[in-house]
Every structure is written in structure tokens, then in C-alpha cells.
């Protein structure tokens, strides 16, 4: 079973070499007495040509019967052919159909809902294949960067008993008759772990019971989160921009072909080099007001306003020091102005907006307790989180990156649903 080559190797192989391939029939057409197929595997497409005299009647008939998406094995000789995609063609000498396909329901031109219902089949498409490879590389590069920089990967729980990002978007689960929640963020558990490991990160699903369907919200997404002891907001922002540069430059290097398939304008990605510009929330409000948005200091803003802000920047940029009333209780109050917190968002350019939310954490027991009360929560639910401030508290900071958000930006996608194989949002949990 192991002497099969991959299409991408076949496309760079020398003419005249014998080669065995397996995959699926992406396209099939007849010219005279020949059958042409475009064979697809995980790495790409190659044209294969079958003639009855070469492969024999039985094999030829079976390929004649095989529809698009049938799985096949072929063996043949590689030839240059400028008309074939990739400039190479396989002249088949033997082959067999492994699994016949029924009439494949996706023929081209179908609408969004139909393709979502048939996601299990649509995932075979060239576009989604390219996105999944880019996402794979983003995850790999994030791991690379942080592991090489001395951070530990950890495995926090998904079933939780308390809200991190407020109660409005919590999913409730029946846990042996007791209500628990699906995690919105691993942050509080990572904060626990820094007292042992100092610098930690995790990749977990996070859940948000978002009411509306938007271009950038999922109800289940993959969350890359970091947390570090002995680190203030400024230091963490430096780590953040360096790691984002590393990821984007790495994708440009390793995923050229996929970015091409997706017709991504790579010029704007090439510019992604640290340091990134920084503005305060107060400056962001001023920019919005100058652009005719009616918003005043103290108000929160969303995707539309972020898109306007991104017009002023070619690079990803930080927005910092938000009013305490619009951010969660765990963010540390600024020493110089207690109306604002030491929080930061990283916004991606070209209209994409927020991909990261982070902050320095409140490390003082009394202040944290009063902030929990100020925001209307019961301190009893957070006894273990408060305990961290009783037993050797340290200054510390962390952030969360939406993996589908960064994938959407880097791959240049219109909608976040295409950054995840099986998107979940309101009214959709199948397939
Ligand atoms: O709510 S966040 O802004 N921040 C937190 O959850 C912190 N507790 C993270 C931390 O400091 N460890 O979410 C962080 C990121 C945000 O910037 C987005 O990129 C992404 O998570 N995010 C989402 N992606 C997709 N869909 C939805 N609904 C979503 N919500 C947040």
C-alpha cells in the first residue's frame, strides 16, 4: 500500500518515470476513444489519460462507468504535456476503481445554505482544502513560536462552573443534574497554571452563544490563549506582535500555492512586520468621530466601527486602555487613570478588525473583589480565582486569539464560516 506517490511529487517528477497514484476523480471527459480524468489527492490535481489498448477492456469499462468523486488507483508513465494542468500528464497502464460515486450533488453554482447542508462533501473543494492547509500552518507556527520561546502547552477543561467573558453568551449544559457551562475562554485556568509553569498557552474550543449571524462570529471557535507570570501589558504586546509577524511571514513562505488558489493579495501580508502601530481607545473614538460615526467616550463599538479604524492602518494595530465599564472585571486598572484598564485588542487591517483580545490582569485581592462586585457577580463563584491573589500573587498578562479570525484575515476570506470545517452558529449544528 505504500509505494503510491502524491500528486505534487508527480507534477515535479521526470518524464518517462513510472508512477502509482491514488485519489478521487475530480473531473472526467472523453476525447475520441480516450478517457481523461483529473485525479485529485490531498496535494493537488494531475491529468491522467486512459486508452483501452493500454489498460485493457475491464479497467477501461470501469473508468467509463465511474462518475466524478469515485476513488481510484492508477499506475502509469509521466509525460510532459503543456495543455494539462501543472504541465504533466500520466499515461495510465493499469488502474482500478476503488469506490464508485453516486451522482455528486455539488455541481457548481449552488447557494450558501445548500453548500452548508452538504458541508461533508463540500470540504473536498479546492478552496476549503487550501484554507485548511493555511489554518494548519498558522497553528503549527503559533506552537513553534511559543514553544521555542519557553512557553508550555497545557490542556484546560471545557466544562466550567463560572463565566469568564460575562453571562450573556454562555451555553448551559446539564452535568449530572447540575448546571455547568461550555468554556468561553481558558484564561482563568491558565492563570492558575502560571503559578507552576510561569508561561503557558492552550488551544481549545471556546463557545459563545451569539444571537446574530455575522461575518466574524461563530458559536464554537478555536481559541489560542497565552498567559505569563512576571509580564506586564507592554511586554506582552511585544511578544504578541513578534509572534503574529512570525506566523504571517511563515504562511507566506510555506503556503504560497494555497494563497494563490485563494487569490489572496500577498503584498499587504508582506508588510506585517513588528512593531505594530498603537492607539488608545480615546484616540480610536476620535478617529471614529472624525469619520462621522456618532459615538462618545465610554461606549463600546463593533465590527463596523473597527472596519473604519482599519482604514487608517496598513498593518495590524493595537487599541489600548479601554474604559473599565466596557471590559471584564479581571483587567487591571491603569495606575495613572483609574477610569481605564490595561487591556489591548489587536485589529487586523483590510477591514478584518479584532483578532486578539488581551490584558494585564488585576493581581490585587481587594481591587479584584470589588471589581467582581461592581460588575454584579457573586465572589463565591470565583473563590479559586480570588485565591490566586491570596497565595503569592504576581503581575501577569495574557491574551486570546481567535484561530478562525486570524485564518480569515490571512487567507483573505469573506466569511468566518469558511475558516472552520464544520461551522456552528445560530440555527446550524449539522453536519
Ligand atoms: O472575548 S475575547 O476578546 N477575550 C477573551 O476571551 C479573553 N478571556 C482571552 C484571554 O485573555 N485569554 O476573545 C478573544 C478572541 C477575540 O479577539 C476573537 O479573535 C475571538 O477570541 N473570538 C471569536 N472568534 C469567533 N467567533 C466568536 N464568537 C468569537 N468571540 C471571540
For each of the domains in the chain, give its residue range(s) and CATH number, in order of start: 7-99 (2.40.50.140), 117-419 (3.30.930.10)
400 Cα: distance to centroid of ligand 1 (angstroms): 6
208 Cα: distance to centroid of ligand 1 (angstroms): 9
**Nearest one of 376, 369, 346 to 168, comparing CA atoms:** 376
**Does pLDDT of 1 surpass 70?**
no
Q: 38 Cβ partners below 8 Å, 6+ apart? A: 25, 26, 27, 28, 45, 46, 47, 48, 85
Instruction: Work out the pLDDT band at 2, boundaries 50, 70, 90.
Output: low
- pLDDT tens digits for range 33-43: 999 999 999 99
Pocket around ligand 1 at a 6 A CB cut-off: 164-165, 185, 187, 208, 210, 217-218, 221, 223, 225, 354-358, 398-402, 404-405
Q: Is residue 417 a contact partner of residue 116, using CB atoms and an 8 Å limit?
A: yes
**Nearest one of 65, 13, 57 to 37, comparing CA atoms:** 65
Which of 135, 146, 183, 185 should be mutated for ligand 1, with most atoms under 8 A from CB?
Answer: 185
Report pTM.
0.97
Which of 362, 405, 406, 408 should be mutated for ligand 1, with most atoms under 8 A from CB?
Answer: 405
Atom of ligand 1 nearest to the CA of 356: 17
Instruction: Work out the pLDDT band at 420, boundaries 50, 70, 90.
Output: very high
240 Cα: distance to centroid of ligand 1 (angstroms): 15
The stretch 38-64 carries a mean pLDDT of 97
Protein residue closest via CA to atom 3 of ligand 1: 357
**Nearest one of 359, 272, 279 to 318, comparing CA atoms:** 279
Protein residue closest via CA to atom 14 of ligand 1: 400
Instruction: Work out the pLDDT band at 107, boundaries 50, 70, 90.
Output: very high
- pLDDT tens digits for range 319-331: 999 999 999 999 9
Compute the distance between CA of residue 122 and CA of residue 46 in angstroms, rounded to an integer: 20
- pLDDT tens digits for range 367-383: 999 999 999 999 999 99
**Does pLDDT of 396 surpass 60?**
yes
**What confidence score (pLDDT) does residue 427 get?**
83
Atom of ligand 1 nearest to the CA of 328: 8
Protein residue closest via CA to atom 28 of ligand 1: 217
Q: For residue 109, what are the CA distances in angstroms to 127, 175, 293?
A: 14, 44, 38
Compute the distance between CA of residue 346 and CA of residue 360 in angstroms, rounded to an integer: 14
202 Cα: distance to centroid of ligand 1 (angstroms): 13
**Does pLDDT of 212 surpass 80?**
no
Protein residue closest via CA to atom 29 of ligand 1: 217
**What confidence score (pLDDT) does residue 163 get?**
84
Q: Is residue 374 a contact partner of residue 338, using CB atoms and an 8 Å limit?
A: no
270 Cα: distance to centroid of ligand 1 (angstroms): 25
Protein residue closest via CA to atom 27 of ligand 1: 217
Amino acid at each position: 500500500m505504500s509505494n503510491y506517490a502524491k500528486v505534487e511529487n508527480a507534477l515535479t517528477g521526470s518524464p518517462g518515470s513510472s508512477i502509482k497514484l491514488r485519489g478521487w476523480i475530480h473531473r472526467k471527459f472523453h476525447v475520441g476513444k480516450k478517457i481523461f480524468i483529473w485525479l485529485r489527492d490531498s496535494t493537488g490535481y494531475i491529468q491522467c489519460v486512459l486508452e483501452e489498448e493500454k489498460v485493457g477492456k475491464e479497467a477501461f469499462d470501469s473508468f467509463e462507468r465511474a462518475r466524478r468523486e469515485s476513488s481510484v488507483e492508477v499506475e502509469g508513465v509521466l509525460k510532459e504535456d503543456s495543455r494539462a494542468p501543472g504541465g504533466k500528464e500520466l499515461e495510465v497502464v493499469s488502474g482500478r476503481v476503488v469506490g464508485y460515486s453516486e451522482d455528486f450533488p455539488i455541481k457548481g453554482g449552488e447557494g450558501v445554505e445548500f453548500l452548508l447542508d452538504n458541508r461533508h462533501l463540500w470540504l473536498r473543494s479546492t478552496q476549503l482544502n487550501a484554507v485548511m492547509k493555511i489554518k494548519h500552518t498558522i497553528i503549527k507556527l503559533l506552537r513553534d513560536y511559543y514553544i521555542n520561546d519557553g512557553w508550555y502547552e497545557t490542556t484546560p477543561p471545557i466544562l466550567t462552573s463560572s463565566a469568564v467573558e460575562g453571562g450573556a453568551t454562555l451555553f448551559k449544559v446539564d452535568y449530572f443534574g447540575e448546571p455547568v457551562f461550555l468554556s468561553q475562554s481558558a484564561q482563568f485556568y491558565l492563570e492558575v497554571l502560571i503559578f507552576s509553569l510561569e508561561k503557558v498557552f492552550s488551544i481549545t474550543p471556546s463557545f459563545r452563544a451569539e444571537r446574530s449571524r455575522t461575518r466574524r462570529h461563530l458559536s464554537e471557535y478555536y481559541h489560542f490563549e497565552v498567559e505569563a507570570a512576571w509580564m506586564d501589558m507592554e511586554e506582552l504586546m511585544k511578544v504578541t506582535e513578534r509572534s503574529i509577524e512570525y506566523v504571517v511571514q511563515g504562511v507566506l513562505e510555506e503556503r504560497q500555492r494555497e494563497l494563490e488558489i485563494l487569490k489572496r493579495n500577498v503584498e499587504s501580508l508582506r508588510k506585517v512586520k513588528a512593531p505594530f502601530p498603537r492607539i488608545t481607545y480615546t484616540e480610536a473614538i476620535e478617529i471614529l468621530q472624525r469619520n462621522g460615526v456618532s459615538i462618545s467616550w465610554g461606549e463600546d463599538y463593533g465590527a463596523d466601527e473597527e472596519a473604519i479604524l482599519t482604514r487608517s492602518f496598513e498593518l495590524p494595530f493595537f487599541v489600548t486602555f479601554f474604559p473599565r465599564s466596557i471590559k471584564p472585571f479581571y483587567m487591571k486598572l491603569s495606575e495613572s487613570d483609574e477610569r481605564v484598564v490595561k487591556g489591548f485588542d489587536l485589529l487586523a487591517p483590510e477591514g478584518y478588525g479584532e483578532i486578539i483580545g488581551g490584558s494585564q490582569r488585576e493581581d490585587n485581592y481587594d481591587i479584584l473583589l470589588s471589581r467582581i462586585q461592581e460588575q454584579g457577580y457573586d465572589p463565591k463563584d470565583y473563590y479559586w480565582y480570588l485565591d490566586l491573589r491570596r497565595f503569592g500573587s504576581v503581575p501577569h498578562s495574557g491574551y486570546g486569539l481567535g484561530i478562525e479570525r486570524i485564518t480569515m484575515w490571512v487567507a483573505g476570506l469573506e466569511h468566518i464560516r469558511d475558516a472552520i470545517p464544520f461551522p456552528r452558529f445560530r440555527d446550524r449544528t449539522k453536519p
